[in-house]
Amino acid sequence: MNEPAYSITPMRPADIDDVMRVEIACFPNPWAPNTFLQELERAQAHIDVLRRNADAQVVGFINHWVVLDELHLLNVAIHPDERRRGHARKLIQHMLAFGRQAACRVVMLEVRRSNEAALALYREFGFRSVGVRPGYYSDNGEDAILMNLDLPPSP
């Protein structure tokens, strides 16, 4: 049997340089390395990395919080060189399975109004728009679309 080409594992502090490489390539206002390291210390925060098994390189990550029975998606990022391969979909599936296991009933997120690819991906999973945060993004004042997904328990 062939070994999978990629694996999803919890982020470790040693992953910070790889995570920052993805973060800087993906976001106009990247988080500082210390912000990620602080996230690793928060009980509610979970950062999982997508690692290419051949060279152990981190090519993407997902950051989500569990708050009571809610799952909050903060960020999902795939390095531009690795996009269009289903990686974001795998990370979201992984997060949703985690949320079900944690007995979360709803998943919430904010996404830039202009991020049509992300909006389409979230809709594929059944997320629905539930509101707008006007001027949410500080870099350009762009609105955020609020999206929710009801998360029934696993059968």
- Is-catalytic flag, 137? no
- Is-catalytic flag, 122? yes
Residue-wise over 8-33: b if at least 16 C-beta within 10 A, else e? beebeeebbebbbebbeebeeeebee
Annotated catalytic residue, options 6, 23, 39, 122: 122
Annotated catalytic residue, options 70, 82, 110, 142: 110
Which positions are annotated as active-site residues?
A: 110, 122
